[in-house]
Chain A
Amino acid sequence: MSLRTEEMVLNMGPQHPSTHGVLRLELVLEGEVVHDVKPHIGYLHRCFEKHAEAMTYPQVVPYTDRMDYLASMYNNFGYVEAVEKLMGIEVPERVEYIRVIMGELQRIASHLVALGTYGLDLGAFTPFLYLFRDREKILTLFEETCGARLLYNYMWVGGLSHDIHPDFVRKTKEFIDYFRPTVTELNELLTYNKIFIERTANIGVCPAKEAINLGLSGPNLRGSGVKFDLRKNDPYSIYNKFDFEIPVGEGLVGTVGDCWDRYYVRVQEIEQSLRIIEQAIDQIPEGDVKSAVPRRVKPPKGHIYHRVEAPKGELGYFIISDGTVNPARVKVRAPSFVSLSAIGEIAKGYLVADVVAILGSLDIVLGEIDR
């Protein structure tokens, strides 16, 4: 005898602690098994692309801060590089070094939030507090440099808004010395915790080929075992001067491409970012950080697609210039936007409780999805 069953639709969100913002997931379930996930987004839409068309090029920078608000430095980074490439500006070496250091500090800060809240989603409260304590130290470094803790407007087209202060190098080195051992602490607390592994290993497996086709990027793509990092594969700025590894998912406790792999890639990337900062911090050349800032930003007619390896993945700016001081079109390829669109494929066949684990492992920020 077989029982008649039917699909049921359950709304998760828009107000839900594990959706990391206002996001509604429409879950199509049969019993506890997920058949489909349809995300509904746009609750945080604020017309970034329309605004940008009414602004001059430098005025767009503060708007980019507000997309991925956990990694504002990197949003600035991608945008100003795109405009500089379009205009053919060469920025001084000092600026490049400071940008890379700030970018990598930002990557660590963003990963700390990702890892901390991921633990929180799965019921581990303590790591969250520890990681936020350390993130605070990075934010203090930023605050001392440019006056803002989250939304910096630090990188300008052709330069930076402020030079680093005389104590910055010493304080950053102190931070590295303090911070490095805490990664081990995190591994003991969360990474190899049995309950955590039970919740994440073999869950949300995404094979490499599918991950590329779905457009996953950054740690999510590398979690699937694809050794692809724009800092190495499509180098921009001065990343080719530094020596660092690209960690990839290896399926240490489960299958390659599961939630734990995506999580662990982020843990390993923190160490690699520290290595880059260590190499860069001693070599910062002298110079004026504002010497290449143009008085008038007016790129020639043309278009450019420039992408950088933001903490959450490939952040691309597609800018069309019509030869005036306002961009004709700014389209942002936000990494979280594409990662979230893949959740339906990844979560198919797992249980309702796993949706929370899968969503958290993709590390999305609604600010850049809705723009």
Chain B
Amino acid sequence: MKTPEEIFEILKSEFQDAVIEIDSELPVEPIIIVDPLKISKVAQFLRDNEELQFDSLMNLSGVDDNNGEKVTDEEGNVTVQGGTFSVYYHLHSTTIDHKVTIRVITDKDKPEVETVDPVWKASTWHEREAYDMYGIIFLNHPDLRRILLPDDWEGYPLRKDYENPEYYDGMKIPY
């Protein structure tokens, strides 16, 4: 069993810049922050390394960090500019029985994260859900389509600045 700090040291010595920092200030579960465009290699290492063996992806979730800058224009409309999305990976090793949380942070303007689909097949639908709800693009994902919402839905509902549409397919909402 390894603590998140030890796992961070192992990753840091293997990947240097791709592993950014460890955030252990929060009350529970320290998080390791990784570069979104290197995550697939890090994931492969996490699964295949003898000391780590993270064979199971418990959960993958997209999150809107809600840290954009609020800008008010001349007419008083408030829009959010900048800010970031995160993707959290909760990993568990069924053989060694230790856990770790990985987080990648990506810009809202160009939300691109590498897919971990080849490493853990369990992630396929979770990534599609994150794409569906936040519009996070998972690079090299085999089948990145909307999953819960209809294919022709506009916008990404779980973004904090999402506004309910007035019409869907020509129907007024609420009808």
- Footprint of B on A, CB under 8 Å? 41-42, 45, 47, 49-50, 85-86, 88, 209, 212-215, 226, 228, 233, 300-305, 307, 314, 316, 318, 320, 322, 328-329, 331, 333, 337-338, 341-342, 345, 370-371
Closest residue on chain B to residue A49 by CB atoms: B158
| CB contact list, B115-150 vs A, under 8 A | 120-125, 133, 146-150
Interface string of B10-29 (1 = CB under 8 A from A): 00000000000000001111
Question: Which of B28, B59, B63, B149 has a CB less than 8 Å from the CB of A42?
Answer: B149
A41 x B27 contact (CB < 8 A): no
Is the pair B58, A329 in contact by a Cβ cutoff of 8 Å? no
**Neighbour of B61 across the interface among A226, A300, A318, A322, CB < 8 A:** A318
Which A residues lie within 8 Å of B122 (CB)?
213-215, 338, 341-342
Distance between Cα atoms of A49 and B149 in the complex (Å)? 13
Interface size class of B (residues with CB under 8 A): 20 to 34
Contact assessment for B97 and A305 in the assembled complex, using a CB-CB cutoff below 8 Å? no
Please give, as numbers and ranges, the residues of chain A lying within 8 Å of B56 by CB-CB distance: 212-213, 215
Q: Is B149 within 8 A of A338, CB to CB?
A: no
Once A215-B56, A303-B28, A333-B59 are accepted as A-B contacts, the answer to whether A50 and B157 lie under 8 Å apart by CB is yes
Assess the A305–B66 pair: CB atoms within 8 A: no
Known: A305-B29, A345-B121. A212 touches B58 (CB 8 A): no
CA of A303 to CA of B58 in the docked complex: distance in angstroms? Answer: 16
Option from A213, A307, A337, A370 in Cβ contact (under 8 Å) with B121: A213
Residue among A50, A215, A228, A304 with max Cβ neighbours from chain B (10 Å): A215
Cβ contact within 8 Å between B133 and A49:
yes
- In Å, the complex CA distance between A329 and B122 comes to 21
Residue contact A300 to B27, C-beta cutoff 8 Å = yes
Q: Which residues of B contact A233 (CB under 8 A)?
A: 97
Interface string of B38-76 (1 = CB under 8 A from A): 000000000000000001111101011010000000000
Chain B positions within 8 Å of A88 at CB level:
27
Contact B59 A304 (CB under 8 A): no
The prevalent SS among residues of B at the interface is loop
Contacts A212-B56, A316-B59, A329-B61 aside, 19 further interface pairs with beta carbons under 8 A come to A41-B148, A47-B157, A86-B27, A212-B94, A213-B55, A213-B122, A214-B121, A226-B94, A228-B94, A302-B28, A314-B58, A318-B90, A328-B66, A333-B61, A338-B122, A341-B122, A341-B124, A342-B122, A345-B121
Inter-chain contacts of A86 with B (CB < 8 A)? 27-28
Chain B residues at the A interface, C-beta cutoff of 8 Å:
26-29, 55-59, 61, 63-64, 66, 88, 90, 94, 97, 101, 120-125, 133, 146-150, 157-158
Which residue of chain A lies nearest to B162 when distances are taken between CB atoms in the complex? A50
Q: Please, which residue of chain B has its CB at the minimum distance from the CB of A45?
A: B148
Minimum CB–CB distance for B142 against chain A, Å: 11
Contact A304 B147 (CB under 8 A): no
Q: Are B59 and A305 in contact (CB under 8 A)?
A: yes
| Interfacial chain A residues near B57, Cβ < 8 Å | 215
Q: Which residues of A contact B157 (CB under 8 A)?
A: 47, 50
Instruction: Kindly report which residue of chain A lies nearest to residue B133, judged by CB atoms.
Output: A49
Interfacial chain B residues near A302, Cβ < 8 Å? 26-28
Contacts of B133 in A (CB 8 A): 49
A134 to B121, CA, bound (A): 38
In the bound assembly, the distance between CA atoms of A302 and B27 in angstroms comes to 6
Residue of A nearest to B66 (CB): A328
Interface residue from A300, A305, A307, A345 paired with B101 (Cβ < 8 Å): A305
A314 to B61, CA, bound (A): 15
B121 touches A215 (CB 8 A): yes
Q: How far is the CA of A255 from the CA of B26 in the complex (A)?
A: 46
Distance between Cα atoms of A85 and B26 in the complex (Å): 13
Q: Which 3 A-B pairs have the closest CB atoms?
A: A215-B122, A331-B61, A341-B125
